[in-house]
Amino acid sequence: MDSVDNVNIADYPSTNHLLGMTLDGSAYHHGDLRAALLTEAAAMIDEGGTLSVTMRAIGRRLGVSRSAPYRHFADKSALLVAVAAAGFDRLRDRLEAVGAGAPGAGIDQLRQIGEEYVRFALENPGHYRLMYGKEAITRRDQPELREAANALFDELVRIFRTHQQSGSIKQQDPQVQAYVAWGAVHGVASLLLEEQILTAVDADGLIRQTTATLLDGVRAGR
């Protein structure tokens, strides 16, 4: 039993260490296992779906033992929550960057933000899938996750409020407006990610059409 695991090379009576590394390249202390676990987990999800992420496999890929990850995360769910939360943070950063870098605050900024949102999802399918769909996440009400998601949402609300003040979009509850927009971009992103869309369809065109329709719906005036 457990034949695969026993392939572990580290018969760790190997001294000869230097800065945590042994001469044969193996290391007892990984260096920054926690960070490595986060990126590796996301990579594995991208490759083979959430199912393919197992604590043992991830340890194997990083060259540590099967239970080393437990030193950094209470359990598998906690690891995945951390990955998801990191995803929300990164997404928020990207949207903020677009907001900051956009020339003027015309309605075109909204379009850019919407498209950036979908782009992020397509570029980081692993993170994105985990951010929504609590499939792999056990405990309800992960405060870390909820906070990160709320921070993203607050940023969206802020953006819509700003545009309402400049008069480019309809005056209405900015929170609802933000949810509607969030839903729309999340929806397309999700359909594209889950390959629900016929390959013959031009994804970029679809994304543009989504933001365009949405903007037509919120634009001020007629």
**Chain positions contacting a copy of itself, by CB under 8 A:** 49-51, 129, 132-136, 138, 149-150, 153, 172, 175-177, 179-180, 182-188, 190-191, 194-198, 201, 205-206, 209-210, 212-218, 222
Please say whether the beta carbons of 181 and 215 come within 8 A. Answer: no
User: Could you give the string, one character per residue 182-221, with x where binding to DNA holds by CB under 7 A and - elsewhere?
Assistant: ----------------------------------------
- CA 106, CA 111: separation in Å to the nearest integer? 10
Question: Residue 57 pairs with which residues in a beta bridge?
Answer: none
Instruction: For residue 175, state whether it binds DNA (rule: CB under 7 A).
Output: no
Sign of the Cα torsion 98, 104, 105, 106 reads: negative
By a kind-dependent CB cut-off of 5 to 8 A, residue 218 interacts, out of DNA, a copy of itself, none, with a copy of itself
Nearer to DNA, 13 or 104 (CB): 13
User: Could you give the string, one character per residue 3-22, with x where binding to DNA holds by CB under 7 A and - elsewhere?
Assistant: xxx--x-xxxxxx-x-xx-x
Distance of closest approach, residue 12 Cβ to a copy of itself, in angstroms: 31
Distance of closest approach, residue 100 Cβ to a copy of itself, in angstroms: 25
Q: Quick one: which of 39, 67, 165, 172 contacts DNA (CB under 7 A)?
A: 67
- CA 34, CA 71: separation in Å to the nearest integer? 9
Nearer to a copy of itself, 57 or 197 (CB): 197
- CA 214, CA 72: separation in Å to the nearest integer? 43
Distance of closest approach, residue 15 Cβ to DNA, in angstroms: 5
By a kind-dependent CB cut-off of 5 to 8 A, residue 136 interacts, out of a copy of itself, DNA, none, with a copy of itself
Q: Quick one: which of 23, 24, 31, 176 contacts DNA (CB under 7 A)?
A: 31
Please say whether the beta carbons of 206 and 188 come within 8 A. Answer: yes
Which tokens sit at 182?
């969030």
Nearer to DNA, 16 or 199 (CB): 16
Angle at 194 between CA 190 and CA 195, to 5 degrees: 115
Angle at 136 between CA 130 and CA 139, to 5 degrees: 105
Residue in 206, 153, 162 with CA at minimum distance from that of residue 180: 153
Count other Cβ atoms within 10 Å, centred on residue 32: 10
Q: What's the distance, CA 138 to chain centroid?
A: 18
Binding stretches for DNA (CB under 7 A): 1-5, 8, 10-15, 17, 19-20, 22, 28-31, 33, 53-57, 59, 64-68, 70-72, 74-77
